[in-house]
Amino acid sequence: MQITMFKSKLHQMVVTEANLMYEGSITIDQDLLDAANLLPYEKVQVLNITNGSRLETYTIPGERGSRICCMNGAAARLTQVNDRIIVISYADMTPEEAKSHKPTVVIVDENNDPKKIIDETKYASEYDLESGMLDNSLQ
């Protein structure tokens, strides 16, 4: 059996551009993609903190050091420049792999500069990965 786990995210990104006429995707500074363990053209979910919208798209590498976060195509209708978003990727793995998996979280500031990189979550180990329920025996 395979389960889908949270792999990595860029947290609190600021949308710097919105390009409605592009065919689609989200352009992100290659340095930020690297920091969050995201590949060019990887499928991601984008959660808009500002307005609550959610969408799926894929990443396009932007110029290193530019701190660009550009919503392209139809996604540009769901975001505005200066909206705060979360960009999340997921990975399929076995429950055994998931037990030792450590997601990468990159928290950025208002300029999309990485301020903190976390490579684990304290919560994942508290859940039974077969059932998805809180495992009280681990507390």
Which sequence positions are flagged as catalytic? 25, 58
Q: Per DSSP, what are the bridge partners of residue 60?
A: 27
What is d(CA 116, CA 11) in angstroms, rounded to the nearest whole number?
A: 10
What is d(CA 82, CA 46) in angstroms, rounded to the nearest whole number?
A: 15
Q: Per DSSP, what are the bridge partners of residue 138?
A: none
What is d(CA 5, CA 89) in angstroms, rounded to the nearest whole number?
A: 9
Q: Per DSSP, what are the bridge partners of residue 5?
A: 91
